[in-house]
Amino acid sequence: MTSEGQTYTTDEVAAVLAEVDLFEGLPGDDLVRIAGIVNGATAKAGEVLFEEGDPGDAFYVVVDGAVEIVKKVSGGDEEKLAVRRGGEAFGEMALLNDAPRSATARAVDDTQLMVLPRDDFLVLLGADTLAVRVMQTLSKALRALGVRFATSGKDQDGPAQRVDESAVAVSRALQRSLMPKDAPRAEGYDLAAGTLLQDAGRGDTSWLDLTFSDGRTGMACLTVQGNGPLPAYQLALAQAFLREIAARESSAERLLSEVNGMLTRNAVPGSSQYLACAVLVPGEDAITWSSGGGIPGAVIRRDGTFDEFPSHGPPLGMLDGFTYATQTVTVGAGDMVIVLSQGSTGMFRGAADLVSNLQQKPAGEVVASIHTALRRAQGDDALETTVLFIRKH
């Protein structure tokens, strides 16, 4: 590929960018700023623009010609994923995610391109802004989703099998790409968390670890309620907002209130989809609890007594400006806290009874035991359920 391509005016570039999905709806002034860092380039027919595994360093718009996007599959063959023609873009994940390319791009014909370098784009936006962090979170999740769909297996005798691309399947795949690998650590406590996943689940629940500006660790339990776009899209937004705000706050007191405002302002028009969320922050001799949307939680004392936690307000994203309260719960050695993302009162109390008999079990085994009990109780109709567990040393 050569950079000696067609020369375009700033207005011409801005007009093309306005038609690209990634930049749809941006004000004209922003499009002009982005146009100022775009370069022209040409590629000969058959020329490879980038290969699968290469660093993602630029975003491309086809002006004239065509580019095919292909992926290696078993046996050394290639699967054609898409063809991009005049006015269409590709490689956009590179603007927000430094992961290697997930596919190969090759010119089908002699092709004129506009090239937007990643480094210049991040300098233009300010790489540490909340907007970029949110888009980075989503881009990583969507990239993992794209790889999952593109690497479907093949029959020995036939073409690639079709992947279930229904909205629910997309949400499940996105949800799974957002899942943390390990529970965080907090001095003086055992922490564990996990989500009971179902092959037919909606992808509507998850958990995440939080690090506050004073170095304290917390965990959040999330579940999407109501109808709207992909439930896991809401999870991705909420995770990005929660982590961003926690990083600049020294306590959980403002966390849910600020995330609530962000979700309300970023809601999809006409959606009735909201987020139930609970946050636990272990302290020296107490745990801070804050929740909205009715997620059940409780402390199970070493002596067997049981105190349920209150909900502090409606689901997040429903009422802009609502102020969520927090509760500080004193805990001593052997006290345990359990949170379930959803379920009936009877189900939650049954899980709490189970936990009270598992005081000596490792934290991860406690969560696994709860998942096993939920599957046995609900059978094939078991809800996808997230469990948080904390035990004081």
Q: Could you tell me if 207 and 338 are in contact, meaning their C-beta atoms sit under 8 angstroms apart?
A: no
Question: Mean pLDDT of successive 10-residue segments in the chain (393 residues)?
Answer: 72 88 76 91 95 91 94 82 89 77 92 92 75 67 57 41 57 88 94 93 94 94 86 90 90 89 81 92 95 95 91 92 94 96 89 91 96 88 92 96
The string over 7-23, giving b where at least 16 C-beta atoms fall within 10 Å of a residue's C-beta and e elsewhere, is ebeeeebbebbeebebb
Q: Could you tell me if 389 and 337 are in contact, meaning their C-beta atoms sit under 8 angstroms apart?
A: yes
Fold for the domain defined by 10-125: Jelly Rolls (2.60.120)
Predicted local distance difference test score (pLDDT) of residue 343: 83
Predicted local distance difference test score (pLDDT) of residue 111: 95
Predicted local distance difference test score (pLDDT) of residue 7: 73
Instruction: Report how far residue 363's alpha carbon sits from residue 388's, in angstroms, rounded to the nearest whole number.
Output: 10
Predicted local distance difference test score (pLDDT) of residue 363: 96
DSSP state letter for 189: E
Fold for the domain defined by 179-231+242-392: Phosphatase 2c; domain 1 (3.60.40)
Whole-angstrom Cα Rg for the chain = 24
Predicted local distance difference test score (pLDDT) of residue 6: 62
Q: Could you tell me if 225 and 273 are in contact, meaning their C-beta atoms sit under 8 angstroms apart?
A: yes
How many CA atoms lie less than 13 Å away from 160 in the CB half-sphere?
Answer: 18
Domains of the chain, residue spans: 10-125, 179-231+242-392
Instruction: Report how far residue 322's alpha carbon sits from residue 205's, in angstroms, rounded to the nearest whole number.
Output: 23
